[in-house]
Amino acid sequence: MSDARRLLRADGYDAIVVGAGHNGLVAAAYLARAGRSVLVLERRDVLGGAAVSEAVWPGWTVSTASYVCSLLHPRIVSELRLASYGYEAYRKDPASFTPLPDGRSLVLSRDAAENAREIGAFSRRDVAGFAAFEREAERLGSVLFEAFEAAAPDTPRIDDAARAAFDGSAAALVERYVETPVLQATLATDGLIGTYAGPRDAGTGYVLAHHYAGRALGVQGAWGFVRGGMGSISRALALAARIAGCSFQTSATVTRILVRDGRAYGVALDDGTEFEAPLVISNADPHTTFSLLATSDVPAGTRAKLAGWKSDGCSLKLNLALGELPDFEARPGRDTAAPHHRATVHVAPSLDYLQTAHDDARTLGASRAPMLECFMQTPTDPSLAPPGKHLLSIFAQYFPYERADGAWNDRKREDAANLIVATLARYAPNLPNAIEARQILAPPDLEERFGLYRGHIFHGELLPGQILGDRFPARTEIDGLLLCGSGASPGGCVSGLPGLHAANAAMAGAATIGSN
């Protein structure tokens, strides 16, 4: 039996998990299934972190923060039997709908013949170019899927062509294959989500590939919805952990991680309660985790890495309760959901538009014409809203945590929401009058509500220098303290892999997820 296994003894708790985000729940479930006694402490009164479904308004179920699924690892789904605990993901089809100001639009789906007709209306040459791009993006995603299975993936595992694509920009990647501005922009948005960079900035090629790294829907890079909203993932994980014997305490705010002689031995809550265990596993981001330690207990190497860690959130989430469907001028209809209502709706007419949206935020404080990703799950899951009504979630960039025009306040929140609605209303004029309620979550709100340091949805940028082997490892420099959040390898999105790597490291110092 290894030293790590001996440390997981049975007097009291074997491990304390700080934070019940989806990765913390994964770590807890695997440890509990292995016979360890686990206590999960969550500061909110709901489990799931940013993967939650909440009754924001009576009769509505809102995926408040995260909203779609692709990277949840199939092994986690299978081994934790999540389907038997209520998890059901289904593929989003069509994949995307991008309307244009001139009344044209582009819809991309899983139907190759339909895609050829849609793309061919802009450029016959791009029909073959799009197919070639999809093959390359899926190849890059597959490279990452395999690399992510390593607890600390190293760049030497990545082939030279993939490494060059990751180091380059999303714009360069898509321009290599297609020439139509709206098609270029539609494809490039995957390289920008959650990232404070423009499409022509180095490293956004990696972000694009990262969003093709999932196989949760059984197809490389495919994205979909979760029945009942994203909270269904967290509920299934929590149930798997509970059935395995895990204990939970909500409304339990950890204010200190206890360290003695260079080793973590427990945590303290804001009410003075202390819990001891030989292992502390933090689902919080790296900055938040190490802020819970006395400065003298944080090793110099860790302090240096934190000082250089880029984690400035630039994403605003706007959730809208609608009395009717958006009626897009490019594809009219509000009475019955049409295929484009089931797709990701992009406001992204060109790469130049996207780059300007980023550049405006850097110089002015926020985008004047933002990039928008919009989702309506209610056409395929009407249980999320009252009969006849719809839920529209808008993921908007760029609205940075640190604004050049001064700090966020209520007026700036309302101004941002009004701008986003007005931007989308240029394509769907009925939208403003269809809104019955709205929830605005700017980066400071994401920080306060979900504990995301500086509002960054990935616990830090997914850009070169903070990816693969350069991400924080599960094992910290402090004995007995592990990281299982998105700041740890392999990074953000709802994958569960940081949680699984942390559980394996806790149990056996495993190097890969296949180790036992």
Q: CA-to-CA distance for 112 and 114, rounded, in angstroms?
A: 5
Q: From residue 319, how far is each of 50, 312, 438, 439, 457 by CA, in Å?
A: 14, 22, 6, 5, 16
Contact 309, 63 (CB under 8 A): no
Q: Compute the average pLDDT of residues 334-352.
A: 97
Q: What is the pLDDT of residues 398-428, one digit of tens each?
A: 999 999 999 999 999 999 999 999 999 999 9
Placement of tokens 């991309």 in the chain: 108
| Lookup: tokens for 317 | 């989430």
Q: One-letter amino acid identity for 278?
A: P
Task: Tell me if residue 448 falls in helix, strand or coil.
Answer: helix
Q: What is the pLDDT of residues 369-378, one digit of tens each?
A: 999 999 999 9
Sheet strand arrangement including 481-483: 247-249, 38-41, 15-18, 279-282, 481-483
Confidence of residue 3 (pLDDT cuts 50, 70, 90): very low
Give percent of the chain above pLDDT 70: 95
Confidence of residue 332 (pLDDT cuts 50, 70, 90): very high
**Residues 388-414, buried b or exposed e (16+ Cβ, 10 A)?**
ebbbbbbbbbbbbbebeeeebeeebbe
Confidence of residue 149 (pLDDT cuts 50, 70, 90): confident
Residue 11 has pLDDT above 60, yes or no: no
Confidence of residue 150 (pLDDT cuts 50, 70, 90): confident
Q: One-letter amino acid identity for 146?
A: E
- pLDDT for the residue numbered 510: 31
Placement of tokens 């305490």 in the chain: 249
Task: Tell me if residue 39 falls in helix, strand or coil.
Answer: strand
Give the burial class of 18: count Cβ atoms within 10 A of its Cβ; 0-12 exposed, 13-18 middle, 19 or more buried.
Answer: buried
- Look at 105 and 514; give whichever has higher pLDDT: 105
| Lookup: tokens for 146 | 């395999």
Q: What is the pLDDT of residues 49-61, one digit of tens each?
A: 999 999 999 999 9
Half-sphere exposure of 66 (CA within 13 A, CB side): 31
Q: Compute the average pLDDT of residues 181-202.
A: 98
Return phi, psi of residue 199, to 5°.
Answer: -65, -20
Q: CA-to-CA distance for 477 and 463, rounded, in angstroms?
A: 23
Confidence of residue 79 (pLDDT cuts 50, 70, 90): very high
Confidence of residue 40 (pLDDT cuts 50, 70, 90): very high
Sheet strand arrangement including 263-269: 254-260, 263-269, 274-276
Instruction: Please state the pTM of the whole predicted model.
Output: 0.94
Placement of tokens 């989500």 in the chain: 193
Residue 513 has pLDDT above 50, yes or no: no
Residue 514 has pLDDT above 50, yes or no: no
- pLDDT for the residue numbered 512: 34
Give percent of the chain above pLDDT 90: 93
Residue 509 has pLDDT above 70, yes or no: no
Q: What is the pLDDT of residues 282-298, one digit of tens each?
A: 999 999 999 999 999 99
470-477, long-range: CB < 8 A, 24+ apart: 471/152, 472/286, 472/305, 473/151, 473/152, 474/151, 474/152, 474/498, 474/501, 474/502, 474/504, 474/505, 475/505, 475/509, 476/302, 477/299, 477/301, 477/302
The overall average pLDDT reported for the chain is 94
Contact 247, 449 (CB under 8 A): no
Q: Compute the average pLDDT of residues 62-76.
A: 97
- pLDDT for the residue numbered 6: 34
- pLDDT for the residue numbered 158: 85
- pLDDT for the residue numbered 155: 65
Q: CA-to-CA distance for 377 and 393, rounded, in angstroms?
A: 9
Q: What is the pLDDT of residues 228-266, one digit of tens each?
A: 999 999 999 999 999 999 999 999 999 999 999 999 999
Residue 202 has pLDDT above 90, yes or no: yes
